[in-house]
Amino acid sequence: MEKAADTNGTGPTESAESRQYLGLRDGIASRISTGDLKPGDKLPSERQLQGEFGLARGTIREALFLLEAEGAIFRRDRSGWYVSPPPVVYDPTRWEGFMSYVEAQGRVPTTFTISTATIPADPLLSDIFSRPLGAPLHHIRRLRSVDGRAVLVEKLVVDAAITPGLLDFDLNTSLTAILKRNFGITVARNQISMQPCALTGDEAVDLRQKSGLPGLALQRVSYDGHGRVVEYDHEYWRHDAVQITVDLRVR
Amino acid sequence: MEKAADTNGTGPTESAESRQYLGLRDGIASRISTGDLKPGDKLPSERQLQGEFGLARGTIREALFLLEAEGAIFRRDRSGWYVSPPPVVYDPTRWEGFMSYVEAQGRVPTTFTISTATIPADPLLSDIFSRPLGAPLHHIRRLRSVDGRAVLVEKLVVDAAITPGLLDFDLNTSLTAILKRNFGITVARNQISMQPCALTGDEAVDLRQKSGLPGLALQRVSYDGHGRVVEYDHEYWRHDAVQITVDLRVR
């Protein structure tokens, strides 16, 4: 609805609408909304767009960057611009893990474990897990994709004292399921915190993005039924891959 | 917790930690975390930092841009870099409006009405409000600040048929309160959708930001007790000003 409301110019301020690059933006956005360009389709090259619209290269790029910022198109390595697939809907008030809710939306989720390590707790993590300084904690770094496109990188920390041998399991699946099936751990409370961010450093590298792309940083502290912290999670999503929704009714 | 976990280097991948600008980033971040630099404080100028750390201007700027991306510092017009105030916590599972929840966090909320207009419904809005094409809708554009810093710009649309004369009220307050007190309208359901975005166009201008700064786009459709859409809202937040939290427990 976001983009449609903007291109329909329903707001009271439309002063900027006259600029050239906005015209090109609207042209491409309308090809996407009519289905002339479909999710995953490659856009014409910048040179082709230049010829077709008779605009300067800089103007073409301005329009493309705006569409990228709006989440409508994205860059794939050096091969050019593509129409973004629809975002995955994430409802923080529901319990399903990534593998479940992505599948329920008719998409194909995959998980790739980048690295694992068991590391002594530093002061911050010792505090979060209520464990002594230096207590062993499992660190797991994973890349998660939807329909083959990398959408988030996550850094998981799990209390090693209650999950011996965890790193020997196949972690390219649901961690929730592994914890439940093999260690009898069930999450009873999630404290979730999200903040828009810019993707930088290792996160940008793992998502194959230029540093600075808007993203969403999500932290999750998971407790078991005894109020014990069992998992501490950082997720970094690319901005066009996720939509957070909450439906709130008076009870 | 985000920044602390990163600077403590708890993750298994730390390959980037050796780069010069990351050292400077850590130096400034640690001055902020120890309270040597407080929210609202002005950072030394880029020239002063250059002298102090003996680094190239480009390296200094790289570190400052990273801190901005992380939400730790922000630019104020041409006057320089400042330490970010803490973000406002927004819990989409609670009912309070901006004026209430900001105040409850010991901060000072203000609202400034940028423009208002009554505009005939276009196809999209006619569909959302279940009103005929061309039915009058009130459009309100407002800028909202916390402790004097602009944090979000919003575009509100309200059904004019049930709110005659709404635009004559002082809209620099709580719209929820005006709707309730003067039109007997109470919201019974909110459908909220959020997506990280880049702030561009008029939104960036109103927030006095360079185009492309990460932000959060929030849409809210509000229904009354009869299931009638009474309000349709778009909010654009600057990324360092808001933190979304949800605390979810097994019932």
pLDDT the model gives residue A4: 38
pLDDT band at A18 (very low <50, low <70, confident <90, very high): very low
* A139/B12 Cβ within 8 A: yes
In A, which residues are within 8 Å of B71 by CB distance? 195, 197
- Find the range with the poorest average confidence among A117-121, A208-212, A223-227, B69-73: A208-212
Q: What is the mean pLDDT of residues B106-114?
A: 97
Q: Rounded to a whole number, what is the distance in Å from the CA of A249 to chain B's nearest CA?
A: 4
In B, which residues are within 8 Å of A11 by CB distance? 139, 141, 155, 202
The pLDDT of residue B145 is above 70: yes
Structure tokens belonging to residue B14: 């730390």
In A, which residues are within 8 Å of B245 by CB distance? 191-194
pLDDT the model gives residue A21: 81
Structure tokens belonging to residue B76: 């104020």
Q: Which residue of B has its CA nearest to A244?
A: B194
* B8/A128 Cβ within 8 A: no
* A5/B125 Cβ within 8 A: yes
The pLDDT of residue A53 is above 60: yes
B251 CB burial (10 A radius; 0-12, 13-18, 19+): exposed
Structure tokens belonging to residue A151: 């959408």
* A196/B11 Cβ within 8 A: no
**Are A45 and A80 in contact, with CB atoms under 8 Å apart?**
yes
pLDDT the model gives residue A136: 97
Average pLDDT, chain A: 88
CA distance A70 to B149: 24
Give ipTM to 2 decimals.
Answer: 0.81
pLDDT band at B12 (very low <50, low <70, confident <90, very high): very low
Where are the domains positioned within chain A?
Answer: 2-83, 88-244
CATH annotation of B88-244: 3.40.1410.10
pLDDT tens digits, one per residue of A207-246: 988 888 889 999 999 999 999 999 999 999 999 999 999 9
* B93/A248 Cβ within 8 A: yes
Q: Which residue of A has its CA nearest to B203?
A: A13
Q: Which residue in the block uniquely carries the two structure tokens 């309070």?
A: B96
Listed ranges B2-16, B92-106, B152-166; the one with the highest mean pLDDT? B152-166
Starting at the earlier edge strand, list the strands of the sheet with A187-199: A109-120, A136-146, A149-159, A229-238, A213-224, A187-199, B242-249, B88-90
CATH annotation of A2-83: 1.10.10.10
**Are A74 and A209 in contact, with CB atoms under 8 Å apart?**
no
Q: What is the mean pLDDT of residues A89-104?
A: 92
pLDDT the model gives residue B173: 92
Closest by Cβ to A11, choosing from B139, B217, B242:
B139
Size of interface A-B (CB pairs under 8 A): 213
Q: Which residue of B has its CA nearest to A234?
A: B2
| Share of residues in chain B with pLDDT > 70 (%) | 92
Q: Which residue of B has its CA nearest to A238?
A: B196
* A237/B125 Cβ within 8 A: no
C-alpha separations of B228 from A238, B223, B232 in Å: 35, 5, 11
Q: For residues B58 and B235, which has the higher predicted lDDT (pLDDT)?
A: B235
Average pLDDT, chain B: 88
* B189/A196 Cβ within 8 A: no
Structure tokens belonging to residue A215: 């993203």
The pLDDT of residue A49 is above 70: yes
Closest by Cβ to A239, choosing from B15, B119, B195:
B195
Residue B121 one-letter amino acid:
A
The pLDDT of residue B98 is above 90: yes
The pLDDT of residue B121 is above 80: yes
H/E stretch holding A246: strand A242-249
Residue A248 has φ and ψ, to the nearest 5°, of: -115, 125
pLDDT tens digits, one per residue of B188-219: 999 999 999 989 889 999 998 888 888 999 99
* A95/B212 Cβ within 8 A: no
Q: What is the mean pLDDT of residues A96-103?
A: 93
Q: Which residue of A has its CA nearest to B71?
A: A197
